[in-house]
Each structure stands twice: as structure tokens, then as C-alpha cells.
Amino acid sequence: MASYHSISLHNTINLPHVKPNSGLPSKLRPNLSHSMQPRRIKASVVAQSQPYWRAIESEIDTFLDKSIPVRHPEAVFEPMRHLTFAAPRTAASALCVAACELVGGDRSHAMAAAAAVHLVHAAAYAHEHLPLTDRPRPEAEHKYGPNIELLTGDGIVPFGFELLSRSVGPARPERILRVMIEISRAGGSKGIIDGLYKEEEIVDQNSRFEFIEYVCKKKYGEIHACAAASGAILGGGSDGDIQKLWNFGLYAGTVRGLLERKGGVEIENIVRKLRDLALKELEGFHGKKNVEIFSSLVAEPSLCSA
Amino acid sequence: MASYHSISLHNTINLPHVKPNSGLPSKLRPNLSHSMQPRRIKASVVAQSQPYWRAIESEIDTFLDKSIPVRHPEAVFEPMRHLTFAAPRTAASALCVAACELVGGDRSHAMAAAAAVHLVHAAAYAHEHLPLTDRPRPEAEHKYGPNIELLTGDGIVPFGFELLSRSVGPARPERILRVMIEISRAGGSKGIIDGLYKEEEIVDQNSRFEFIEYVCKKKYGEIHACAAASGAILGGGSDGDIQKLWNFGLYAGTVRGLLERKGGVEIENIVRKLRDLALKELEGFHGKKNVEIFSSLVAEPSLCSA
């Protein structure tokens, strides 16, 4: 089963006013001409959100578990199943399901897309940790040799697209194709792959913090953005809702990537700025069931006030 | 631009009667209870087919050329374009377009699928040649380091799915999703990836020739089968036509994979058997425009009579 990065965190957070220099493409920057008020994430909301996220994660796990039985050829499917569940869970898959529900859809419509998002992430994770000659890589235990891990990663991505293509029963074909484009982009050369390319260049230079933000946006932000937008598409959300949830996912995913780096005051400042932008995107959903739960995805203990 | 494995070959071939032991899954074996007649491939047909295949290949190249401009981020897209065109062309992509036309469709409907088939092949080819520590691999020149070639291969597959998803204008969404399933399976753990896994096990053993046949079916046969079926799906072919073209592609692709090995009399016997099965699948299309051209895909000089 999947290991988890805990989805939600704790306490009440006071977010200070920050300047609207997001480091994100200008078209993605919200209009911040009006004075922004500090936004608060209530501890009670964060606590209440836990069962919601856990229930979704459990359903996605069950879906993946049924989708990847060890079958012929076992030499291929056994490592495929292992690497799928060995990859640490991100919040992206659960965000996909939650976004579907937020816009009024049934969560079953987003389950295959949520699984595909995890599979794309799991494949990237396997290749990120592959022992190669010229890539600095994180340490990891390897159950299989590099050739098996390479080929298994290669097999996981098409399997994700196959799962998604087959989900045409609960979801409409044109919506699935739109989701396919979202996942292709986020999991491909303009998303995760760009982040993995650029990550090697992170060194102590002048542009360091903006560059780290860029890499986190590519490696983590865009897969969360695509997941949230995909859920909204499959749930029948309006184009406006889809865009807002895409933006929220981008900010929230980038924040979650940055928080793993623990990079000191400069990184904390970027995190505060992005968290505030993320919460602003949620304002359009005010009054909708579960919307407050989304804020728990950008909560972080070290930035909490008293 | 792509380098080519010449699609069609020469001369007149006499195919001897062969026993119906195809080495393929039993459900795929045609009913061979009636005596089979030797089938002939006319030299004139083979010669006439050349401009047809060249024209299709040229159109696919143009489509790929426009689809993968070197754009931001250049560090990602430049190697992606390079590895896409560096992979030797198989007949699979052209077969996709030809199958679409054979069932009465417009070739433009199959162009994105043909490109996606080539991209899936190009990604597998890049990873097959990747310098890793525990994989015996063919020799190849490397313009980039292994990390770039790894990540570029990872980026190529989602790009293929994105291209296909975007082709909903000329083609119908439910047909595209069906094609997506075909390409996912052929390019994934039950197709090319299984072939690459098993290829390492090819040694001089009792089951050697059947095993080589299995590997060629997985590495080459299934991508040709999926390409032919995808073209038929997009061209609006009947389920019967789609199945026949899938079978034809499987036999033809396996033959083409085996012919690259030049394995002596035993391999030649398997080739003859599969070629005969391939030509039998074409009988259902008798009288249709271009059907004879398909036979050139299984022609091979060393097996020619006279």
C-alpha cells in the first residue's frame, strides 16, 4: 500500500499581507490591485478535514488495488504494482476527487483520473530514483535492478492512460479527453519532466529562490493543478470553476513541494505568498460544501501563529 | 527527420503450405481446418506500393515536424524532437493511416494516432538504448547523457497521448478513447515493455525460436496490430474489419521484427507461417482499393522464388 505524505496539518495560521509577485506566469497571477486581507486557516477546519481526506485516499487505494492485480506477465506486473504503491502519496489524487465533489459531481466519476494522476507521479518517482551514471539522485532502497525499474516506470504511464480511457462509463468521453490533455501536460515535458530537468541546476546563485519556486511549481504544482482541474471537469464544473481550481492546485502543490525543502526564511516568504494566493482562489466557492477543507492542504505548523 | 526501415521489398514470393501452429494465443489463430493454398505476393504490387507508403510517411513526418517545434523549455523540447526523429521508423505508423483508408476513412483522421504510435515507439527505442548498469543494450550514438535521454523518453509518451486527445476535431471522442486503449496496451506492460523485459532472456535453449517469436510479437507485432486497428477504428471500420486488421498487423509486425534478426532456417519457417496468416487476414478485404499494397509489408527478398 502507498506510503503517505500527511495531507493536512495543524493549528490556526495568520497569513500576513504579501506583495503580489508570485513568480508564476503573468496570466496566472490573480488581480491583486485591491488590498489583500490576511487569511486564516482555522485549526478546527484542519482537524475536521482529516477524516474526509483519509476516506478519499482509502477509496483511491482500493481502486488502484483492484486495477493492478498481479497477473500475466507476472515479471512485469509484480514490480508495477510494487512501484505504484511504493511511491509516496501526494495530495494531488485526493484533490482530484475533492474538486469533483466541490463542483457537485459524484466522486466515482473522478476515481480513474485520480488513479492516473498517482500513476504518473509514481512513474516519475521511480525514474527520479533510478541509479544512472550522470544524475544526482535521492537515496532510495531498490527492490529491483535499474532495468526493471526503468521499464516498469515506462509501463506505468500508459496503464494510467488506459485506466482513464476505460472510465468512459461513469464519465463522458469529451470530458475524459480534456482530462487526458491536462494529465499529459502536467506529467510531460512542460510539467514534471521540466522540473526534473531543471532540478539539477539548483545551486547557490542569485536567482536561487525564484528558481527553486519554478522547479517546485513544475514538479509538484502542475500535477496538483491538473488533478484539481480534472476533478472539476469530470464533475461538470464551469470553465470558471475549473480555472480557479487549477490555480488553487498550482499554488497548493507548489507550497507542498517547497515545504519539503525547509529552505529558511526566503522559502517561508514564498510559501506565505503562494498560500495566500491559493486561499484567494477558494473565495469563489464560498458557501459550498467542503470548500473549507481545501484550505488544510496549504496549512503548515511552522508558520502558525500562537 | 526519421531514418527508415524500408517499408516494402521486392519480387514475387511463393509461400509454401505451412502447419497452423502460429505460436500466437489460441484465440488469435484463424480457423485453418481447410487446406491452405500457397499465397503469392506479386512483384508489380510491391513496386507499385512504394509511392503510396512514401507519401504516407512523408505526411506523418510533416505532422510530427509541426507538432514538435523547438519551443520553451528548449532544454526539454530540443532533445525531445531529436529523439523523436532519431528513432528508426517502423511500418506501424504508416499502417495506421493505410488501415484508415482501407475501411473508407479519410487519412487525416488517423494522422494524430499514427504520430502517437511513432512517439510511443521512439520513447521505447530511446530507453532501450539508454546506458544503464545492468541492461545489455544495442550500441548507439548518444547525443545526450543518460539522464536527458531518460527524461526525454518519459516526456515523449504523454506528448503522444496529448496529440491524440487533441485530435477530437476530425475524429469522434469515443473512437479516440478506443484508440487510446489500443495504444496504451501495445506501448505498455502487455506489449513493448513485456518484449523488452523478456528480450534479455533470449539464450540458446530448447524453446529458443518460440521464445524469439514471442519477443518479436511483443516488441513489434503488437504495436503494428494496434496501429492497424486504430486506423480502422478512426476510419469507421466494422468490428470485423478492426479485428482482421489487428490480426494482420500482429503477424506483419512480428514478421518484420523476425526479419531483422536473420536467424537461419528456423526463423525463416516461422516467418513463412506468419506471412501466410497475415495474407489470409487480407482476403476479407478483397476488391477494396489499396488492399494489395498491404501485402508488401510482409514481402522479403531472401524468401522469394525464382
Pick from B121, B177, B182, B219 the residue to mutate for testing the A interface (most A CBs within 10 Å): B177
Cell representation of residue A64: 488502484
Please tell me the predicted confidence (pLDDT) of residue B35.
Answer: 39
Cell representation of residue A208: 536561487
Question: How far apart are the C-alpha atoms of A33 and A169, rounded to whole Å?
Answer: 45
Please tell me the predicted confidence (pLDDT) of residue B30.
Answer: 39
Question: How far apart are the C-alpha atoms of B85 and B61, rounded to whole Å?
Answer: 9
Does the beta carbon of B240 lie under 8 angstroms from any beta carbon of chain A? no
Q: CA B177, A60, A89: angle at the middle one, nearest 5?
A: 110
Question: Count of alpha carbons within 13 Å of B45, Cβ hemisphere only?
Answer: 16
Q: Determine the CATH number of domain B42-303.
A: 1.10.600.10
Cell representation of residue A297: 492542504
Please tell me the predicted confidence (pLDDT) of residue B186.
Answer: 94
Query: CB count, 10 Å around CB of B139?
Result: 5
Of the candidates A156, A155, A81, the one whose C-alpha atom is nearest the C-alpha of residue A116 is A156
Cell representation of residue B267: 526463423
Q: Shortest Cα distance from A19 to chain B (angstroms)?
A: 27
Chain B contacts in chain A segment 47-86 (CB below 8 A): 73, 75-77, 80
Cell representation of residue A280: 484567494
Q: Which residues of A touch B185 (CB under 8 A)?
A: 158, 162
Q: Which residues of B touch A215 (CB under 8 A)?
A: none
Cell representation of residue B162: 496529448
Q: A284-288, B40-44, B227-231: which has the highest mean pLDDT?
A: B227-231
The minimal CB distance from B158 to the residues A187, A197, A200 is found for A187
Higher pLDDT, B65 or B42: B65
- Please list the alpha-helical segments (H only) found in B89-167: 92-102, 111-128, 146-166
Question: For B177, phi and psi rounded to 5 degrees?
Answer: -65, -35
Q: Shortest Cα distance from A165 to chain B (angstroms)?
A: 5
In whole angstroms, what separates CA B137 from the centre of its chain? Answer: 21
State the pLDDT confidence band at B304, using cuts at 50, 70 and 90: very low
Q: Shortest Cα distance from A300 to chain B (angstroms)?
A: 32
**Secondary structure, 3-state, A254-267:** HHHHHHCCCCCHHH
Specify the amino acid at residue A228.
A
**Cβ–Cβ below 8 Å for B200 and A120:** no
pLDDT tens figures, B48-92: 888 999 999 999 999 999 999 888 888 888 999 999 999 999 999
**Cβ–Cβ below 8 Å for A165 and B180:** yes
Question: How far apart are the C-alpha atoms of B124 and A277, rounded to whole Å?
Answer: 40
**Cβ–Cβ below 8 Å for A168 and B176:** no
**What does DSSP say about strands B13-14 and A40-41: parallel, antiparallel, or unpaired?**
unpaired
Chain B contacts in chain A segment 177-206 (CB below 8 A): 177-178, 180-181, 183-185, 187-190, 193-194, 196-198, 200
Q: Which residues of A touch B133 (CB under 8 A)?
A: 131, 133, 145-146
Pick from B120, B193, B215, B233 the residue to mutate for testing the A interface (most A CBs within 10 Å): B193
State the pLDDT confidence band at B276, using cuts at 50, 70 and 90: very high
Of the candidates B138, B8, B1, the one whose C-alpha atom is nearest the C-alpha of residue B82 is B1
Residue B42 pLDDT > 60, yes or no?
A: yes
* Residues written for chain B: 306
Residue B25 pLDDT > 70, yes or no?
A: no
Please tell me the predicted confidence (pLDDT) of residue B200.
Answer: 76
- Look up the ipTM and state it: 0.80
Q: B70-74, B145-149, B201-205, B248-252: which has the highest mean pLDDT?
A: B248-252
Find where cell 522464388 sits.
B305
**Cβ–Cβ below 8 Å for A177 and B173:** yes
Question: How far apart are the C-alpha atoms of A38 and A26, rounded to whole Å?
Answer: 22
pLDDT tens figures, A154-200: 999 999 999 999 997 767 899 999 999 999 999 988 899 888 888 87
Q: Which residues of A touch B174 (CB under 8 A)?
A: 168, 173
Question: For B41, phi and psi rounded to 5 degrees?
Answer: -110, 120
Q: Which residues of B touch A145 (CB under 8 A)?
A: 133-134
Residues B160, B164, B167, B168: is their CA dihedral positive or negative? negative
Question: How far apart are the C-alpha atoms of A230 and A113, rounded to whole Å?
Answer: 7
Task: Give the chain B residue nearest A145 (alpha carbons).
Answer: B134
Positions of chain A with pLDDT under 70? 1-40, 133, 135-137, 170, 203-207, 262-263, 300-306
By the 10 Å C-beta count (0-12 exposed, 13-18 middle, 19+ buried), B205 is classed as exposed
Query: Could you tell me if A159 and B188 are in contact, meaning their C-beta atoms sit under 8 angstroms apart?
Result: yes
For residue B89, give the 3-state DSSP assignment: strand
The minimal CB distance from A158 to the residues B133, B155, B188 is found for B188
pLDDT tens figures, B117-141: 999 999 999 998 887 767 666 777 7
State the pLDDT confidence band at B207, using cuts at 50, 70 and 90: low
Pick from A120, A125, A134, A154 the residue to mutate for testing the B interface (most B CBs within 10 Å): A154
Of the candidates A191, A279, A223, A235, the one whose C-alpha atom is nearest the C-alpha of residue A14 is A279
Higher pLDDT, B168 or A270: A270
Q: Which residues of B touch A126 (CB under 8 A)?
A: none
Residue B262 pLDDT > 80, yes or no?
A: no
Higher pLDDT, B303 or A250: A250
Of the candidates B263, B266, B216, B200, the one whose C-alpha atom is nearest the C-alpha of residue B24 is B216
Instruction: Please report, for chain A, the start and end positions of each structural domain, with discontinuous segments joined by +.
Output: 41-131+141-303
Q: Shortest Cα distance from B76 to chain A (angstroms)?
A: 6
Question: How far apart are the C-alpha atoms of B10 and B42, rounded to whole Å?
Answer: 9
Pick from A130, A161, A178 the residue to mutate for testing the B interface (most B CBs within 10 Å): A161
- List own/partner pairs for B27-33 with CB under 8 A and 24 or more apart: B28/B247, B28/B250, B30/B247, B30/B277, B30/B280, B30/B281
Residue B14 pLDDT > 80, yes or no?
A: no
Please state the CATH superfamily assignment of the domain spanning residues A41-131+141-303 in this structure: Farnesyl Diphosphate Synthase (1.10.600.10)
